[in-house]
Amino acid sequence: MIPNWLMQRAKLTPDASALVTGQGHWSYRELYEQSLEIAQQLHHLGVQSNSRVALLSQSNDQTVLFIHACWLLSVEVVCLNNRLTEQELRWQVRDSEAKLVLVDDQIQTPPELDDIKSLFYSAVRESDPKEFIILEQWNEDQTLSIMYTSGTTGVPKGVRQTAGNHTSSALASALNLGLTDKDSWLCMMPLFHISGLSIVIRSVIYGMEMRLYEKFDAKEAASQIIAGHVTAMSVVALTLDQIVRVMEATDSKAHPLFRTMLVGGGPVPLDYLDRATACGLPILQTYGMTETCSQTTTLGKADAVRKVGSAGKPLFFNQIAIKDTVQPGEVGEVLIKGPHVTPGYIGSQSTRNALTEDGWLATGDAGYLDEEGYLFIVDRRADLIISGGENIYPAEIENVLLAHPAIREAGVCGKEDTEWGQVPVAFLVGSVNEDELLDFCSERLARYKLPKEFRFVEQLPRNASNKLMRFELKKWL
Protein backbone atom coordinates (compact mmCIF):
# COMPACT_ATOMS: atom_id res chain seq x y z
CA MET A 1 0.00 0.00 0.00
CA ILE A 2 1.17 3.51 -0.82
CA PRO A 3 -0.20 6.61 0.92
CA ASN A 4 -2.16 9.06 -1.22
CA TRP A 5 0.91 11.22 -1.78
CA LEU A 6 -0.31 14.78 -1.38
CA MET A 7 -2.69 13.97 1.47
CA GLN A 8 0.12 12.32 3.44
CA ARG A 9 2.69 14.98 2.57
CA ALA A 10 0.34 17.77 3.70
CA LYS A 11 -0.11 15.93 7.02
CA LEU A 12 3.62 15.51 7.57
CA THR A 13 5.13 18.82 6.43
CA PRO A 14 2.24 21.21 5.79
CA ASP A 15 4.37 24.35 5.93
CA ALA A 16 7.24 23.22 3.69
CA SER A 17 7.56 24.94 0.31
CA ALA A 18 5.99 22.78 -2.38
CA LEU A 19 5.81 24.82 -5.56
CA VAL A 20 7.20 28.09 -6.88
CA THR A 21 6.15 29.53 -10.25
CA GLY A 22 5.96 32.97 -11.84
CA GLN A 23 2.42 33.15 -10.45
CA GLY A 24 3.19 32.52 -6.79
CA HIS A 25 4.27 29.93 -4.27
CA TRP A 26 2.49 27.14 -2.47
CA SER A 27 3.15 25.25 0.75
CA TYR A 28 2.01 21.64 0.90
CA ARG A 29 -0.99 22.69 2.93
CA GLU A 30 -1.97 25.21 0.25
CA LEU A 31 -1.30 22.74 -2.55
CA TYR A 32 -3.47 20.19 -0.77
CA GLU A 33 -6.31 22.55 0.04
CA GLN A 34 -6.50 24.00 -3.47
CA SER A 35 -6.13 20.61 -5.17
CA LEU A 36 -8.80 19.20 -2.89
CA GLU A 37 -11.18 21.98 -3.88
CA ILE A 38 -10.61 21.19 -7.57
CA ALA A 39 -11.08 17.48 -6.82
CA GLN A 40 -14.41 18.28 -5.17
CA GLN A 41 -15.42 20.41 -8.17
CA LEU A 42 -14.50 17.59 -10.56
CA HIS A 43 -16.48 15.21 -8.37
CA HIS A 44 -19.47 17.53 -8.55
CA LEU A 45 -19.12 17.50 -12.34
CA GLY A 46 -19.48 13.74 -12.30
CA VAL A 47 -15.85 12.61 -12.32
CA GLN A 48 -15.65 9.37 -10.33
CA SER A 49 -12.78 7.67 -8.56
CA ASN A 50 -10.90 5.19 -10.76
CA SER A 51 -12.23 6.83 -13.93
CA ARG A 52 -9.92 8.35 -16.52
CA VAL A 53 -9.57 11.96 -17.65
CA ALA A 54 -7.22 13.47 -20.21
CA LEU A 55 -5.24 16.64 -19.56
CA LEU A 56 -4.28 19.04 -22.35
CA SER A 57 -2.02 21.36 -20.48
CA GLN A 58 0.74 23.87 -20.34
CA SER A 59 3.37 23.34 -17.67
CA ASN A 60 2.10 25.74 -15.04
CA ASP A 61 0.84 25.80 -11.45
CA GLN A 62 -2.78 25.21 -12.48
CA THR A 63 -1.76 22.00 -14.19
CA VAL A 64 0.08 20.82 -11.06
CA LEU A 65 -3.08 21.52 -9.05
CA PHE A 66 -5.27 19.68 -11.55
CA ILE A 67 -2.94 16.66 -11.63
CA HIS A 68 -2.97 16.47 -7.82
CA ALA A 69 -6.75 16.97 -7.81
CA CYS A 70 -7.13 13.94 -10.05
CA TRP A 71 -4.87 11.87 -7.80
CA LEU A 72 -6.69 12.93 -4.64
CA LEU A 73 -9.76 11.53 -6.42
CA SER A 74 -7.76 8.41 -7.48
CA VAL A 75 -8.47 9.34 -11.10
CA GLU A 76 -6.15 8.22 -13.92
CA VAL A 77 -4.64 11.15 -15.83
CA VAL A 78 -3.94 10.79 -19.55
CA CYS A 79 -1.12 13.27 -20.19
CA LEU A 80 -1.60 14.68 -23.69
CA ASN A 81 1.30 16.24 -25.56
CA ASN A 82 0.11 19.77 -26.36
CA ARG A 83 2.13 19.84 -29.57
CA LEU A 84 0.03 17.17 -31.23
CA THR A 85 -2.43 17.90 -34.06
CA GLU A 86 -6.17 17.70 -33.54
CA GLN A 87 -6.17 14.41 -35.37
CA GLU A 88 -3.48 12.92 -33.14
CA LEU A 89 -5.19 14.23 -29.99
CA ARG A 90 -8.57 12.87 -30.98
CA TRP A 91 -7.01 9.49 -31.69
CA GLN A 92 -5.32 9.33 -28.27
CA VAL A 93 -8.36 10.51 -26.32
CA ARG A 94 -10.58 7.99 -28.09
CA ASP A 95 -8.04 5.23 -27.61
CA SER A 96 -7.75 6.05 -23.91
CA GLU A 97 -11.54 6.08 -23.46
CA ALA A 98 -11.10 9.13 -21.25
CA LYS A 99 -14.53 10.45 -20.33
CA LEU A 100 -13.42 14.06 -20.18
CA VAL A 101 -10.62 16.27 -21.47
CA LEU A 102 -9.50 19.02 -19.12
CA VAL A 103 -8.11 21.90 -21.18
CA ASP A 104 -5.71 24.47 -19.79
CA ASP A 105 -7.01 28.00 -20.44
CA GLN A 106 -3.46 28.87 -21.49
CA ILE A 107 -3.70 26.63 -24.56
CA GLN A 108 -3.73 29.21 -27.37
CA THR A 109 -5.79 27.36 -29.96
CA PRO A 110 -7.79 24.62 -28.28
CA PRO A 111 -8.37 21.69 -30.63
CA GLU A 112 -11.75 20.72 -32.02
CA LEU A 113 -12.51 17.46 -30.22
CA ASP A 114 -15.85 16.67 -31.94
CA ASP A 115 -18.06 14.65 -29.63
CA ILE A 116 -15.45 14.26 -26.88
CA LYS A 117 -16.48 16.14 -23.74
CA SER A 118 -14.00 18.80 -22.73
CA LEU A 119 -13.86 21.51 -20.09
CA PHE A 120 -11.52 24.40 -19.57
CA TYR A 121 -9.82 24.59 -16.16
CA SER A 122 -11.77 27.81 -15.59
CA ALA A 123 -15.09 26.06 -16.17
CA VAL A 124 -14.22 23.47 -13.55
CA ARG A 125 -13.26 26.19 -11.07
CA GLU A 126 -16.74 27.74 -11.47
CA SER A 127 -18.44 24.54 -10.31
CA ASP A 128 -19.70 23.91 -6.80
CA PRO A 129 -17.62 21.48 -4.74
CA LYS A 130 -18.96 18.11 -3.69
CA GLU A 131 -17.28 16.28 -0.86
CA PHE A 132 -15.94 12.77 -1.22
CA ILE A 133 -13.94 10.36 0.92
CA ILE A 134 -10.29 10.39 -0.08
CA LEU A 135 -8.74 6.95 -0.49
CA GLU A 136 -5.93 7.29 2.05
CA GLN A 137 -3.85 4.52 0.51
CA TRP A 138 -3.43 3.27 -3.02
CA ASN A 139 -2.68 -0.24 -4.11
CA GLU A 140 0.68 -0.42 -5.81
CA ASP A 141 -0.95 -1.28 -9.14
CA GLN A 142 -3.30 1.73 -9.08
CA THR A 143 -2.76 3.53 -12.41
CA LEU A 144 -2.11 7.23 -11.83
CA SER A 145 -0.90 8.46 -15.21
CA ILE A 146 -0.94 7.36 -18.83
CA MET A 147 1.44 8.64 -21.50
CA TYR A 148 1.37 7.77 -25.19
CA THR A 149 4.55 6.70 -26.91
CA SER A 150 5.05 5.19 -30.35
CA GLY A 151 7.33 2.31 -31.21
CA THR A 152 8.41 0.12 -34.08
CA THR A 153 4.90 -0.03 -35.49
CA GLY A 154 4.31 3.69 -35.32
CA VAL A 155 1.02 3.14 -33.50
CA PRO A 156 0.95 5.16 -30.25
CA LYS A 157 0.56 3.01 -27.14
CA GLY A 158 -0.92 4.37 -23.92
CA VAL A 159 1.58 3.41 -21.20
CA ARG A 160 0.18 2.79 -17.70
CA GLN A 161 2.23 4.33 -14.90
CA THR A 162 1.15 3.07 -11.49
CA ALA A 163 1.50 4.37 -7.94
CA GLY A 164 4.07 1.63 -7.36
CA ASN A 165 6.00 2.51 -10.52
CA HIS A 166 6.25 6.21 -9.67
CA THR A 167 6.99 5.66 -5.98
CA SER A 168 9.77 3.16 -6.53
CA SER A 169 11.23 5.39 -9.24
CA ALA A 170 11.30 8.40 -6.90
CA LEU A 171 12.80 6.36 -4.04
CA ALA A 172 15.49 4.78 -6.20
CA SER A 173 16.35 8.24 -7.49
CA ALA A 174 16.72 9.58 -3.93
CA LEU A 175 19.04 6.70 -3.01
CA ASN A 176 21.12 7.56 -6.04
CA LEU A 177 21.12 11.36 -5.89
CA GLY A 178 20.78 11.88 -2.15
CA LEU A 179 18.28 14.15 -0.45
CA THR A 180 18.54 17.17 1.83
CA ASP A 181 16.01 19.51 3.34
CA LYS A 182 17.40 22.34 1.19
CA ASP A 183 16.59 20.61 -2.08
CA SER A 184 14.67 22.36 -4.85
CA TRP A 185 14.24 20.93 -8.36
CA LEU A 186 14.08 23.26 -11.34
CA CYS A 187 11.53 22.07 -13.90
CA MET A 188 11.57 23.48 -17.42
CA MET A 189 10.39 20.20 -18.94
CA PRO A 190 6.80 19.61 -20.10
CA LEU A 191 4.62 18.08 -17.39
CA PHE A 192 3.03 15.81 -20.03
CA HIS A 193 6.39 14.04 -20.40
CA ILE A 194 7.76 11.73 -17.73
CA SER A 195 10.79 14.01 -17.35
CA GLY A 196 8.52 16.77 -16.04
CA LEU A 197 5.85 14.72 -14.29
CA SER A 198 8.49 12.77 -12.35
CA ILE A 199 9.58 16.06 -10.74
CA VAL A 200 6.02 16.70 -9.52
CA ILE A 201 6.09 13.22 -7.99
CA ARG A 202 9.55 13.43 -6.41
CA SER A 203 8.50 16.77 -4.95
CA VAL A 204 5.45 15.40 -3.15
CA ILE A 205 7.12 12.17 -2.00
CA TYR A 206 10.28 13.90 -0.73
CA GLY A 207 8.60 17.03 0.56
CA MET A 208 10.88 18.93 -1.84
CA GLU A 209 10.25 22.24 -3.55
CA MET A 210 9.69 22.35 -7.33
CA ARG A 211 10.40 25.54 -9.28
CA LEU A 212 8.30 25.32 -12.40
CA TYR A 213 8.55 27.27 -15.66
CA GLU A 214 6.24 27.01 -18.66
CA LYS A 215 9.07 26.90 -21.14
CA PHE A 216 12.78 26.30 -21.23
CA ASP A 217 14.69 29.54 -20.63
CA ALA A 218 18.48 29.21 -20.61
CA LYS A 219 19.12 32.61 -19.02
CA GLU A 220 16.63 32.07 -16.23
CA ALA A 221 17.92 28.53 -15.60
CA ALA A 222 21.49 29.81 -15.35
CA SER A 223 20.39 32.57 -13.01
CA GLN A 224 18.58 30.13 -10.66
CA ILE A 225 21.57 27.77 -10.67
CA ILE A 226 24.08 30.55 -10.00
CA ALA A 227 21.99 32.05 -7.20
CA GLY A 228 21.62 28.69 -5.44
CA HIS A 229 17.81 28.84 -5.56
CA VAL A 230 17.76 25.31 -6.96
CA THR A 231 19.82 22.19 -6.25
CA ALA A 232 18.81 20.01 -9.21
CA MET A 233 17.55 20.32 -12.78
CA SER A 234 16.51 17.94 -15.57
CA VAL A 235 17.74 18.74 -19.09
CA VAL A 236 18.65 17.18 -22.43
CA ALA A 237 22.02 17.70 -24.11
CA LEU A 238 20.59 20.53 -26.23
CA THR A 239 19.29 22.57 -23.31
CA LEU A 240 22.39 21.81 -21.23
CA ASP A 241 24.50 23.35 -23.97
CA GLN A 242 22.36 26.51 -23.97
CA ILE A 243 22.67 26.93 -20.21
CA VAL A 244 26.42 26.38 -20.37
CA ARG A 245 26.68 29.02 -23.09
CA VAL A 246 24.95 31.57 -20.87
CA MET A 247 27.21 30.73 -17.95
CA GLU A 248 30.32 30.89 -20.13
CA ALA A 249 29.29 34.26 -21.55
CA THR A 250 28.96 35.71 -18.06
CA ASP A 251 31.94 33.72 -16.71
CA SER A 252 29.82 32.44 -13.84
CA LYS A 253 29.76 29.27 -11.76
CA ALA A 254 27.01 27.12 -10.32
CA HIS A 255 26.25 27.71 -6.63
CA PRO A 256 27.85 25.05 -4.39
CA LEU A 257 24.37 23.89 -3.31
CA PHE A 258 23.57 22.90 -6.91
CA ARG A 259 24.46 19.23 -7.07
CA THR A 260 22.48 17.45 -9.79
CA MET A 261 22.22 18.23 -13.50
CA LEU A 262 20.27 15.20 -14.71
CA VAL A 263 20.74 14.83 -18.47
CA GLY A 264 18.43 12.48 -20.35
CA GLY A 265 17.52 11.80 -23.97
CA GLY A 266 20.79 10.41 -25.26
CA PRO A 267 24.49 10.71 -24.46
CA VAL A 268 26.15 14.01 -23.63
CA PRO A 269 28.99 14.96 -25.99
CA LEU A 270 32.37 14.99 -24.20
CA ASP A 271 32.81 18.66 -25.09
CA TYR A 272 29.56 19.58 -23.29
CA LEU A 273 30.71 17.56 -20.31
CA ASP A 274 34.02 19.41 -20.08
CA ARG A 275 32.41 22.81 -20.46
CA ALA A 276 29.62 22.03 -17.97
CA THR A 277 32.15 20.76 -15.44
CA ALA A 278 34.16 23.97 -15.88
CA CYS A 279 30.98 25.87 -14.92
CA GLY A 280 30.63 23.77 -11.76
CA LEU A 281 27.65 21.82 -13.08
CA PRO A 282 27.72 18.20 -11.81
CA ILE A 283 26.47 16.15 -14.78
CA LEU A 284 24.56 12.93 -14.17
CA GLN A 285 23.69 11.22 -17.43
CA THR A 286 20.57 9.14 -17.27
CA TYR A 287 18.74 6.58 -19.37
CA GLY A 288 15.05 6.05 -19.05
CA MET A 289 11.79 6.08 -20.90
CA THR A 290 8.05 6.46 -20.49
CA GLU A 291 7.75 2.73 -19.73
CA THR A 292 10.19 3.02 -16.79
CA CYS A 293 8.73 6.17 -15.21
CA SER A 294 11.92 8.18 -15.81
CA GLN A 295 15.46 7.11 -14.79
CA THR A 296 16.42 3.47 -14.95
CA THR A 297 20.21 3.88 -15.05
CA THR A 298 22.29 6.91 -14.10
CA LEU A 299 25.97 7.68 -14.56
CA GLY A 300 27.28 9.46 -11.50
CA LYS A 301 29.49 12.52 -11.71
CA ALA A 302 32.44 10.54 -10.33
CA ASP A 303 32.33 8.30 -13.41
CA ALA A 304 31.35 10.94 -15.97
CA VAL A 305 34.77 11.11 -17.62
CA ARG A 306 36.08 7.61 -16.90
CA LYS A 307 32.93 6.08 -18.41
CA VAL A 308 32.09 8.71 -20.99
CA GLY A 309 29.33 7.56 -23.34
CA SER A 310 27.86 5.25 -20.73
CA ALA A 311 24.32 5.52 -19.42
CA GLY A 312 25.62 4.37 -16.02
CA LYS A 313 24.43 1.67 -13.66
CA PRO A 314 20.92 0.63 -12.68
CA LEU A 315 19.27 2.35 -9.74
CA PHE A 316 19.00 0.25 -6.56
CA PHE A 317 15.71 -1.51 -7.27
CA ASN A 318 16.38 -2.15 -10.96
CA GLN A 319 18.02 -4.90 -13.01
CA ILE A 320 19.50 -4.50 -16.49
CA ALA A 321 20.34 -7.39 -18.79
CA ILE A 322 21.37 -7.74 -22.43
CA LYS A 323 19.21 -10.23 -24.29
CA ASP A 324 20.84 -13.49 -25.40
CA THR A 325 24.35 -12.52 -24.34
CA VAL A 326 26.76 -14.08 -21.86
CA GLN A 327 29.94 -11.99 -21.85
CA PRO A 328 30.40 -8.34 -20.93
CA GLY A 329 30.79 -6.25 -24.07
CA GLU A 330 28.41 -8.30 -26.21
CA VAL A 331 25.79 -6.13 -27.88
CA GLY A 332 22.12 -7.08 -27.71
CA GLU A 333 18.69 -5.72 -26.84
CA VAL A 334 18.60 -3.91 -23.50
CA LEU A 335 16.19 -5.53 -21.00
CA ILE A 336 14.94 -3.80 -17.86
CA LYS A 337 13.26 -5.22 -14.78
CA GLY A 338 12.06 -3.56 -11.60
CA PRO A 339 9.14 -2.09 -9.71
CA HIS A 340 9.37 1.09 -11.84
CA VAL A 341 8.51 -0.73 -15.07
CA THR A 342 4.99 -0.31 -16.48
CA PRO A 343 2.67 -3.29 -16.17
CA GLY A 344 1.33 -2.59 -19.68
CA TYR A 345 -0.79 -0.54 -22.04
CA ILE A 346 -4.37 0.66 -22.31
CA GLY A 347 -6.82 0.97 -25.19
CA SER A 348 -6.15 -0.70 -28.54
CA GLN A 349 -2.76 -1.95 -27.31
CA SER A 350 -4.01 -3.30 -24.00
CA THR A 351 -3.65 -6.91 -25.14
CA ARG A 352 -0.01 -6.36 -26.07
CA ASN A 353 2.38 -7.72 -23.42
CA ALA A 354 4.74 -5.04 -22.18
CA LEU A 355 6.88 -7.60 -20.37
CA THR A 356 8.34 -11.02 -21.05
CA GLU A 357 7.19 -13.93 -18.95
CA ASP A 358 10.13 -13.34 -16.63
CA GLY A 359 9.08 -9.73 -16.11
CA TRP A 360 11.62 -8.06 -18.40
CA LEU A 361 10.82 -5.00 -20.50
CA ALA A 362 12.37 -5.34 -23.95
CA THR A 363 13.38 -1.77 -24.79
CA GLY A 364 14.20 -2.19 -28.48
CA ASP A 365 17.43 -0.31 -27.74
CA ALA A 366 20.71 -2.05 -28.51
CA GLY A 367 23.51 -1.87 -25.96
CA TYR A 368 26.02 -3.70 -23.84
CA LEU A 369 27.28 -3.89 -20.26
CA ASP A 370 31.00 -3.46 -19.72
CA GLU A 371 33.08 -5.53 -17.30
CA GLU A 372 32.12 -3.28 -14.40
CA GLY A 373 28.42 -3.41 -15.19
CA TYR A 374 28.08 0.02 -16.83
CA LEU A 375 25.47 0.23 -19.56
CA PHE A 376 26.36 1.60 -23.00
CA ILE A 377 23.56 2.28 -25.49
CA VAL A 378 24.73 1.54 -29.02
CA ASP A 379 21.58 2.24 -31.00
CA ARG A 380 18.26 3.69 -29.93
CA ARG A 381 15.10 1.74 -30.32
CA ALA A 382 13.27 1.71 -33.61
CA ASP A 383 15.74 4.17 -35.11
CA LEU A 384 14.39 6.70 -32.68
CA ILE A 385 14.91 10.32 -33.66
CA ILE A 386 15.38 12.68 -30.72
CA SER A 387 14.62 16.25 -31.73
CA GLY A 388 14.83 18.97 -29.09
CA GLY A 389 14.14 16.37 -26.40
CA GLU A 390 11.04 14.96 -28.12
CA ASN A 391 11.05 11.32 -29.21
CA ILE A 392 10.04 10.82 -32.86
CA TYR A 393 9.38 7.36 -34.25
CA PRO A 394 10.10 7.04 -38.02
CA ALA A 395 7.35 4.48 -38.45
CA GLU A 396 4.72 6.94 -37.31
CA ILE A 397 5.76 9.49 -39.97
CA GLU A 398 6.07 6.76 -42.61
CA ASN A 399 2.53 5.59 -41.86
CA VAL A 400 1.22 9.10 -42.54
CA LEU A 401 3.25 9.50 -45.74
CA LEU A 402 2.08 6.14 -47.03
CA ALA A 403 -1.51 7.20 -46.48
CA HIS A 404 -1.05 9.78 -49.26
CA PRO A 405 -2.33 8.29 -52.55
CA ALA A 406 0.70 9.44 -54.57
CA ILE A 407 3.32 7.87 -52.24
CA ARG A 408 4.28 4.26 -52.93
CA GLU A 409 7.12 3.83 -50.45
CA ALA A 410 8.39 5.94 -47.56
CA GLY A 411 11.42 5.72 -45.25
CA VAL A 412 12.28 8.21 -42.52
CA CYS A 413 15.51 8.70 -40.60
CA GLY A 414 17.12 11.33 -38.43
CA LYS A 415 19.59 13.90 -39.72
CA GLU A 416 22.02 15.70 -37.42
CA ASP A 417 20.98 19.28 -36.77
CA THR A 418 22.87 21.95 -34.86
CA GLU A 419 19.71 23.50 -33.43
CA TRP A 420 17.57 20.46 -32.58
CA GLY A 421 20.11 17.67 -32.31
CA GLN A 422 18.25 15.70 -34.96
CA VAL A 423 15.44 16.35 -37.44
CA PRO A 424 13.42 13.83 -39.50
CA VAL A 425 14.09 13.45 -43.23
CA ALA A 426 11.82 11.41 -45.55
CA PHE A 427 12.92 9.31 -48.54
CA LEU A 428 10.02 8.70 -50.90
CA VAL A 429 9.13 6.64 -53.93
CA GLY A 430 6.33 8.35 -55.83
CA SER A 431 5.51 11.71 -57.33
CA VAL A 432 3.75 14.58 -55.55
CA ASN A 433 4.01 18.32 -55.02
CA GLU A 434 6.08 18.93 -51.84
CA ASP A 435 3.86 21.71 -50.50
CA GLU A 436 0.79 19.58 -50.91
CA LEU A 437 2.54 16.71 -49.12
CA LEU A 438 3.59 19.01 -46.28
CA ASP A 439 0.01 20.23 -45.88
CA PHE A 440 -1.16 16.64 -45.83
CA CYS A 441 1.35 15.82 -43.06
CA SER A 442 0.64 18.98 -41.07
CA GLU A 443 -2.94 17.95 -40.50
CA ARG A 444 -1.85 14.58 -39.18
CA LEU A 445 1.46 15.13 -37.39
CA ALA A 446 2.67 17.46 -34.69
CA ARG A 447 4.93 20.17 -36.08
CA TYR A 448 8.08 18.71 -34.51
CA LYS A 449 7.47 15.43 -36.36
CA LEU A 450 7.21 17.01 -39.83
CA PRO A 451 10.05 15.94 -42.16
CA LYS A 452 12.43 18.81 -42.77
CA GLU A 453 13.29 17.41 -46.21
CA PHE A 454 11.57 15.21 -48.76
CA ARG A 455 13.93 13.26 -51.02
CA PHE A 456 12.46 11.39 -53.98
CA VAL A 457 14.35 8.23 -54.94
CA GLU A 458 13.98 5.24 -57.32
CA GLN A 459 13.76 2.70 -54.55
CA LEU A 460 14.40 2.28 -50.81
CA PRO A 461 17.10 0.07 -49.29
CA ARG A 462 15.51 -3.19 -48.20
CA ASN A 463 16.93 -6.45 -46.89
CA ALA A 464 16.25 -9.93 -48.23
CA SER A 465 12.94 -10.07 -46.38
CA ASN A 466 12.12 -6.73 -48.02
CA LYS A 467 12.32 -4.97 -44.64
CA LEU A 468 13.25 -1.32 -44.78
CA MET A 469 16.84 -0.77 -43.59
CA ARG A 470 16.67 2.69 -42.06
CA PHE A 471 20.35 2.68 -41.11
CA GLU A 472 21.11 2.56 -44.87
CA LEU A 473 19.02 5.70 -45.34
CA LYS A 474 21.35 7.52 -42.96
CA LYS A 475 24.26 6.81 -45.30
CA TRP A 476 22.37 8.54 -48.11
CA LEU A 477 22.24 11.80 -46.15
Q: Residues 6, 8, 185, 292: which binds a copy of itself (CB under 8 A)?
A: 8
Query: What is the x/- site pattern for a copy of itself, positions 27-66, by CB under 8 A?
Result: ----------------------------------------
Does 373 sit near a copy of itself (CB under 8 A)?
yes
Give Cα separations from 118 to 72, 101, 104, 139, 375 (angstroms). 20, 4, 10, 29, 44
Does 344 sit near a copy of itself (CB under 8 A)?
no
Residue whose C-alpha is closest to residue 102's, from 133, 70, 74, 131: 70
Does 314 sit near a copy of itself (CB under 8 A)?
yes
Q: Residues 319, 350, 356, 433: which binds a copy of itself (CB under 8 A)?
A: 319
Q: Residues 33, 50, 112, 178: which binds a copy of itself (CB under 8 A)?
A: 178
Length of the chain: 477
Q: Provide, rounded to whole angstroms, the least separation between the CB of residue 187 and a copy of itself.
A: 20
Does 207 sit near a copy of itself (CB under 8 A)?
yes
**Footprint of a copy of itself on 388-417 (CB under 8 A):** none
Does 205 sit near a copy of itself (CB under 8 A)?
yes
* Region near a copy of itself per CB under 8 A, out of 126-134, 286-294, 315-323, 463-471: 315-323
* Region near a copy of itself per CB under 8 A, out of 54-62, 237-245, 335-343, 410-418: 335-343
- Of 15 and 112, nearer to a copy of itself (C-beta) is 15
- Of 264 and 312, nearer to a copy of itself (C-beta) is 312
Instruction: Determine contact, residues 341/358, Cβ cutoff 8 Å.
Output: no
Q: Provide, rounded to whole angstroms, the least separation between the CB of residue 313 and a copy of itself.
A: 5
- Of 111 and 338, nearer to a copy of itself (C-beta) is 338
Does 329 sit near a copy of itself (CB under 8 A)?
no
The DSSP letter of residue 258 is -
CA distance 142 to 166: 11
Strands (E) across 201-331 are located at 209-212, 232-236, 260-264, 283-289, 294-299, 310-314, 319-322
Does 206 sit near a copy of itself (CB under 8 A)?
yes
What would the DSSP string read from start to end of 97-130?
A: T-SEEEE-TT-SS----TTS-EEEHHHHHTSPP-
Does 12 sit near a copy of itself (CB under 8 A)?
yes
Instruction: Determine contact, residues 265/271, Cβ cutoff 8 Å.
Output: no
* Region near a copy of itself per CB under 8 A, out of 205-213, 269-277, 284-292, 425-433: 205-213
Q: Provide, rounded to whole angstroms, the least separation between the CB of residue 131 and a copy of itself.
A: 18
CB 22: neighbour CB atoms within 10 A?
A: 11
On the 0-12 / 13-18 / 19+ scale of CB atoms within 10 A, 195 is buried
- Of 118 and 203, nearer to a copy of itself (C-beta) is 203
Q: Residues 48, 105, 130, 175: which binds a copy of itself (CB under 8 A)?
A: 175
Number of residues near a copy of itself (by CB under 8 A): 29
Task: Give one word for 251, left, alpha or beta, with left for phi > 0 and alpha for psi -120 to 50.
Answer: left
Does 115 sit near a copy of itself (CB under 8 A)?
no
Does 228 sit near a copy of itself (CB under 8 A)?
no
Instruction: Determine contact, residues 377/267, Cβ cutoff 8 Å.
Output: yes
Q: Provide, rounded to whole angstroms, the least separation between the CB of residue 359 and a copy of itself.
A: 8
Does 174 sit near a copy of itself (CB under 8 A)?
yes
On the 0-12 / 13-18 / 19+ scale of CB atoms within 10 A, 288 is buried
Q: Provide, rounded to whole angstroms, the least separation between the CB of residue 94 and a copy of itself.
A: 35
* Region near a copy of itself per CB under 8 A, out of 70-78, 105-113, 168-176, 417-425: 168-176
CA atoms within 13 A on the CB side of 123: 11
The DSSP letter of residue 468 is B
Give Cα separations from 87 to 9, 134, 280, 350 (angstroms). 39, 36, 45, 21
CA distance 35 to 67: 8
The DSSP letter of residue 292 is G
Instruction: Determine contact, residues 432/406, Cβ cutoff 8 Å.
Output: yes
- Of 13 and 223, nearer to a copy of itself (C-beta) is 13
Does 181 sit near a copy of itself (CB under 8 A)?
yes
**Footprint of a copy of itself on 116-145 (CB under 8 A):** 136-137
Q: Provide, rounded to whole angstroms, the least separation between the CB of residue 12 and a copy of itself.
A: 5
Gap between the terminal Cα atoms of the chain: 53
Q: Residues in the site for a copy of itself, rule: CB under 8 A?
A: 1-3, 8-9, 11-12, 136-137, 171, 174-175, 178-181, 205-207, 313-314, 316-317, 319, 337-339, 359, 373
